[in-house]
């Protein structure tokens, strides 16, 4: 059974740029959630995707957007990067109707 994978592992961008992060869900999981974890803090829910549609969103501005593909993999896109977007971005997969989420290793984004 393949676990959740994310790419890239690390990324450095400058303010104003755009970034795309990728996530492959665990085998058999059809739901993907994205979280932002700032240094020294707990994760914050960004949004969730199910059946290629956004299925819930946290308190993040519209410049955070996402996609889910037919194979259940997902992308997180962030436009107009700000310094405060520097964080570890975590992807988690789960099965519809089940609460337990399984996390990937994360992508560490640094915005300069």
Partner 1 sequence: GNSVTQMEGPVTLSEEAFLTINCTYTATGYPSLFWYVQYPGEGLQLLLKATKADDKGSNKGFEATYRKETTSFHLEKGSVQVSDSAVYFCALSDQGDSNYQLIWGAGTKLIIKP
Query: x-or-dash pattern for partner 1, window 36-75, by CB under 8 A?
Result: ----xxxxxx--x-x----xx-x-----------------
Report CA 87 to chain centroid distance, whole Å.
Answer: 11
**Residue 8 DSSP symbol:** -
Restricted to residues 18-37, the positions that interact with partner 1 (CB under 8 A) are: 31, 33, 35
Distance CA 21, CA 77 (A): 6
Distance, first Cα to last Cα, the chain: 38
Residues within the interface to partner 1 (CB under 8 A): 4, 6, 31, 33, 35, 40-45, 48, 50, 55-56, 58, 90, 92, 94, 98-106
């Amino acid at each position: 059974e393949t676990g959740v994978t994310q790419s890239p592992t690390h990324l450095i961008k400058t303010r104003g740029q755009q970034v795309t992060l990728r996530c492959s869900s665990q085998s058999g999981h059809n739901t993907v959630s994205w979280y932002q974890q700032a240094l020294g803090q707990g994760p914050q829910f960004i949004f969730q995707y199910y059946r290629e549609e956004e299925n819930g969103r946290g308190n993040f501005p519209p410049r955070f957007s996402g996609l889910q593909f037919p194979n259940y993999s997902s992308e997180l896109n962030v436009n107009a990067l700000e310094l405060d977007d520097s964080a570890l971005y975590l992807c988690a997969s789960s099965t519809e109707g089940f609460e337990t989420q399984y996390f990937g290793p994360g992508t560490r984004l640094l915005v300069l």
